[in-house]
Amino acid sequence: MNYILRTTNLFKIFKDKETITDVSMNIKKGEIYGFLGPNGAGKTTIMKMILNLVKPNSGEIEIFSEKLTNKSYETLKRNRVGAK
């Protein structure tokens, strides 16, 4: 199945504290997905990882079936992610 966004087992550690633990999600075209949680739950960190602004310690992110890498800014730009 084709997903516009897919994350698998995302983990992020800041200063020896696990802030994101084992986050996986699959979003199909046309779906609306929201993040709910208290302050400090990691919502912004997950979004920054999806936008390739923060690197996860482990796990994978795919946008339009392309895995994010250090060179993924071109993928994001080509698909107008974050464009105004």
pLDDT at 26: 96
Residue-averaged pLDDT of the chain: 87
Distance CA 31, CA 47 (A): 17
pLDDT at 66: 87
Angle at 68 between CA 67 and CA 71, to 5 degrees: 120
pLDDT at 77: 67
Output b/e per residue, 64-79; b: 16+ Cβ within 10 A: eeeebeeebeebbeee
Hey, what CATH class is 3-79 in?
alpha beta
Which residue(s) pair with 12 in the sheet?
Answer: 20
pLDDT surpassing 80 at residue 52 = yes
pLDDT at 68: 87
What is the tens place of the pLDDT at every residue in 1-13? 689 999 999 999 9
pLDDT surpassing 70 at residue 83 = no
Output b/e per residue, 30-57; b: 16+ Cβ within 10 A: eeeeeeeeeeeebeebbeebbbbebebe
